[in-house]
Amino acid sequence: MNITGATRVLALIGSPVSHSLSPQIHNRFSDSLGLNYAYLAFDITHDGLKRFTEAARLMGIAGFNVTMPLKERIIPYLDAVSDAAGLCGAVNTVVNKAGTLIGHNTDGDGFARSLEREGFVFNGKKALVLGAGGAARAVALALAKRGMSVRMASRSPDKEVVAEGAEYCNWSDTGSEAEGCPLLVNATPLGMHGVNEDFADLSFLDALPSDSIIYDLIYSPRETALLKAAKGRGLRAINGVPHLVCQAALSFELFTGHTPSERVVSDLLTDTDIF
Ligand code: NAP
């Protein structure tokens, strides 16, 4: 990276962010394409959100990613949101178009793209998504859009249907809902580094077909207790790294208009220095 007077700034905001891998990923994308962007992480909480959006306009920050706990709270400070972000009520990518801030959500399509890379065929199959937060809704909508029949297991399922093909079910019904599902996604923080809670009961894994994919959106640790138990049962286990890289590639494209090559995405996914 060669920082000059013409370097454009990209950023991640949220709290905490010091552990984030997004700077390495985005700066690698920029370098690989010979572009002049620098991606930094800023620890911003809800209190600083309004001031950050004003600063982003003032300083001409080209775009920024939004992570926990701001994905929903950022929306009132934006000028517009995309259909995907509006439907799932969460924004992970903001593009600054000459002072107009537009919110997008690349979590769903990034997740689906990472599964496509594994050769997964979506149409007509069942999926069970654990959780009903921003990431869960984005993933559920993307899977439903691709023809899957999706249930989102929630502790508070008294919410409306999310969209055609995606609806809530009770957390306590996870075992019966898992039956016949070739795809189970953990979109809760259970098992994440720094979170003092994990799954109390993993018996729902026994209800899954033997060729199922267990996809945990968590990437720290790389192998959660859920993934370890899935592997122990001979199921296919995927951690949150492919999702992280694929949603970042879509965000980078929105920020810059340039698509990271397949080669740089593959290199990142196998980079043991980062992952
Ligand atoms: P969020 O909006 O806070 O949603 C979390 C969801 O988990 C909520 O539905 C919450 O239910 C549920 N939950 C929390 N604790 C639970 C428990 N003990 N039992 C049952 N459900 C519980 O968070 P998010 O932004 O969607 O993120 C969810 C996870 O995905 C996080 O681990 C995050 O790191 C990961 N993620 C990874 C990537 C990636 O690139 N790999 C991208 C985005 C997110 P309630 O509403 O009932 O509290």
Instruction: Write the pLDDT tens digit of every residue in 121-172.
Output: 998 899 999 999 899 999 999 999 999 999 999 998 766 656 677 899 999 9
* 125: annotated active-site residue: no
User: What phi and psi values does residue 160 have, to the nearest 5 degrees?
Assistant: -75, 170
Q: To which residue do tokens 């809670």 refer? A: 197
Residues in the chain: 275
218 Cβ closer than 6 Å to some ligand 1 atom: yes
Nearest CA to ligand 1 atom 13: 188
Mean pLDDT throughout 229-236?
Answer: 98
Instruction: Write the pLDDT tens digit of every residue in 1-34.
Output: 899 999 999 999 999 999 999 999 999 999 999 9
Q: What does the pLDDT read at residue 74?
A: 98
Q: To which residue do tokens 């013409």 refer? A: 6
22 Cβ closer than 6 Å to some ligand 1 atom: no
Cis peptide bond prior to 76, omega within 30° of 0: no
189 Cβ closer than 6 Å to some ligand 1 atom: yes
Q: Are 231 and 237 in contact (CB under 8 A)?
A: yes
Instruction: Write the pLDDT tens digit of every residue in 8-17.
Output: 999 999 999 9
Between the CA of 107 and the centroid of ligand 1 the distance, in Å, is 13
Nearest CA to ligand 1 atom 36: 217
Task: Give the mutation target among 72, 155, 197 for probing the ligand 1 site: most ligand atoms within 8 A of CB.
Answer: 155
Nearest CA to ligand 1 atom 40: 244
Task: Give the mutation target among 217, 246, 247 for probing the ligand 1 site: most ligand atoms within 8 A of CB.
Answer: 217
Between the CA of 192 and the centroid of ligand 1 the distance, in Å, is 10
Q: What does the pLDDT read at residue 61?
A: 98
Query: Number of C-alpha atoms within 13 angstroms, CB side, residue 272?
Result: 0
64: β partners: 11, 94
Instruction: Write the pLDDT tens digit of every residue in 35-84.
Output: 999 999 999 999 999 999 999 999 999 999 999 999 999 999 999 999 99
Banded pLDDT at 250 (limits 50, 70, 90): very high
Q: What does the pLDDT read at residue 161?
A: 55
For the chain, what is the HEC assignment? Answer: CCCCCCCEEEEEEECCCCCCCHHHHHHHHHHHCCCCEEEEEEECCHHHHHHHHHHHHHHCCCEEEECCCCCCCCHHHCCEECHHHHHHCCCCEEEEECCEEEEECCHHHHHHHHHHCCCCCCCCCEEEEECCCHHHHHHHHHHHHCCCEEEEEECCCCCCCCECCEEEEEHHHHHHHCCCCCEEEECCCCCCCCCCCCCCCCHHHHHCCCCCEEEECCCCCCCCHHHHHHHHCCCEEECCHHHHHHHHHHHHHHHHCCCCCHHHHHHHHCCCCCC
Nearest to 55 by CA among 11, 4, 104, 2: 11
Q: Which atom of ligand 1 is nearest to the CA of 197?
A: 18
Between the CA of 185 and the centroid of ligand 1 the distance, in Å, is 11
Between the CA of 9 and the centroid of ligand 1 the distance, in Å, is 29
User: What phi and psi values does residue 191 have, to the nearest 5 degrees?
Assistant: 95, -5
Nearest to 64 by CA among 5, 106, 120, 127: 106
Order across the sheet with 63-66: list the strands: 37-43, 8-14, 63-66, 93-97, 100-104, 80-81
Please determine, for residue 263, whether its predicted confidence score (pLDDT) is greater than 70.
yes
Mean pLDDT throughout 246-255?
Answer: 98
187 Cβ closer than 6 Å to some ligand 1 atom: yes
Q: What does the pLDDT read at residue 1?
A: 83
User: What phi and psi values does residue 54 have, to the nearest 5 degrees?
Assistant: -65, -45
Q: What does the pLDDT read at residue 158?
A: 65
Q: Locate 128 and state its tokens.
A: 């069970």
Q: Which atom of ligand 1 is nearest to the CA of 188?
A: 7
Between the CA of 5 and the centroid of ligand 1 the distance, in Å, is 40
68 Cβ closer than 6 Å to some ligand 1 atom: yes
Instruction: Write the pLDDT tens digit of every residue in 99-128.
Output: 999 999 999 999 999 999 999 999 889 999
Find the radius of gyration of the CA atoms of the chain: 19
Q: What does the pLDDT read at residue 268?
A: 96
Please determine, for residue 92, whether its predicted confidence score (pLDDT) is greater than 90.
yes
Instruction: Write the pLDDT tens digit of every residue in 175-230.
Output: 999 999 999 999 999 999 989 999 999 999 999 999 999 999 999 999 999 999 99
Between the CA of 186 and the centroid of ligand 1 the distance, in Å, is 8
Instruction: Point out the catalytic residue in the list 71, 125, 145, 228.
Output: 71
| Cα(115)–Cα(121) distance, integer angstroms | 8
